[in-house]
């Protein structure tokens, strides 16, 4: 099966990152005198840092790009500290990646997060050696639903997009996978099944529902 690949999104797929992201945003906001509730954060989860800052900071329009970048770096530092202390692997993530690798799949991470976050995820999973390639936010100029991140991953893997499957939790990521000409596998959690089903070739509620045979059949159906 070494002519097939699986590209994993990171947040919400390999890393159960919702709560650490909320807590790091809440701490950074508190440092600026802003009280961010979880309900408020939930309305912005998955948006860019600039969008979140614009939503919560009354003076956001007066903040320079450099200041916003510094705030973003602070927030991501707090996030990495949180997941290093108690790494929140998604259920079945380690087992699925190990099984895919043993079956001969090539593996990649396609994330819009900073490279430091991708490295912390690899370290936390304890499976860095299983992945053939990673793509992070510093390597892309266009975010999802643009397919750029996944097309770069396929190029690094040395495979045609049609031989790749993407595992994603967000509608924008699924749209990106389909735009790239790849199989789109949706994991519920960030969004519900009704939202994800029209965008995906397969929807699962847990990574434990996936295995090399299931994914190989999805990819081969695309021939």
Q: Where is the domain boundary, 66, 85, 104?
A: 85
Q: pLDDT tens digit string along 102-146? A: 999 999 999 988 899 999 999 999 999 999 999 998 999 888 999
Q: pLDDT tens digit string along 190-214? A: 899 999 999 999 999 999 999 999 9
Residue 1 has pLDDT above 60, yes or no: no
In this structure, what CATH number is given to the domain that contains residue 158? 3.40.50.1000
**Model confidence, pTM:** 0.90
Looking at the fold, whether 96 and 164 belong to one and the same domain comes out as yes
Among residues 196, 221, 198, 160, the alpha carbon closest in space to that of 3 is found at 160
Q: pLDDT tens digit string along 71-106? A: 999 999 999 999 998 999 999 999 999 999 999 999
Give the percent of the chain with pLDDT over 70.
Answer: 98
Count of structural domains within the chain = 2
Residue 221 has pLDDT above 80, yes or no: yes
Query: CB within 8 A of 202, min separation 6: which ones?
Result: 183, 185, 186, 214, 218
Range of the domain at 137: 5-16+88-220
Looking at the fold, whether 98 and 204 belong to one and the same domain comes out as yes
Q: What are the structure tokens assigned to 121, written together?
A: 């995820």
Q: Where is the domain boundary, 32, 57, 85?
A: 85
Q: pLDDT tens digit string along 160-201? A: 999 999 999 999 999 999 999 999 999 999 899 999 999 999
Among residues 218, 180, 178, 221, the alpha carbon closest in space to that of 202 is found at 218
């Amino acid at each position: 099966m070494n002519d097939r690949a699986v590209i994993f999104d990171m947040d919400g797929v390999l890393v159960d990152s919702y709560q650490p992201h909320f807590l790091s945003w809440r701490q950074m906001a508190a440092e600026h005198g802003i009280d961010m509730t979880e309900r408020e954060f939930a309305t912005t989860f998955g948006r860019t840092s600039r969008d979140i800052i614009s939503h919560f900071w009354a003076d956001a329009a007066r903040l320079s790009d450099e200041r916003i970048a510094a705030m973003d770096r602070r927030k991501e530092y707090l996030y990495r500290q949180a997941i290093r202390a108690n790494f929140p692997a998604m259920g079945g993530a380690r087992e699925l990646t190990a099984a895919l690798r043993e079956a001969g799949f090539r593996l990649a991470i396609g994330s819009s997060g900073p490279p430091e976050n991708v490295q912390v995820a690899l370290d936390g999973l304890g499976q860095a050696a299983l992945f053939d390639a990673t793509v992070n936010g510093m390597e892309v100029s266009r975010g999802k639903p643009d397919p750029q991140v996944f097309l770069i991953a396929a190029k690094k893997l040395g495979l045609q997009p049609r031989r790749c499957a993407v595992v994603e939790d967000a509608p924008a990521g699924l749209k990106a996978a389909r735009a790239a000409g790849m199989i789109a596998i949706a994991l519920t959690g960030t969004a519900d099944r009704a939202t994800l089903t029209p965008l995906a070739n397969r929807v699962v509620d847990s990574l434990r529902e996936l295995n090399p045979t299931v994914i190989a059949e999805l990819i081969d159906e695309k021939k």
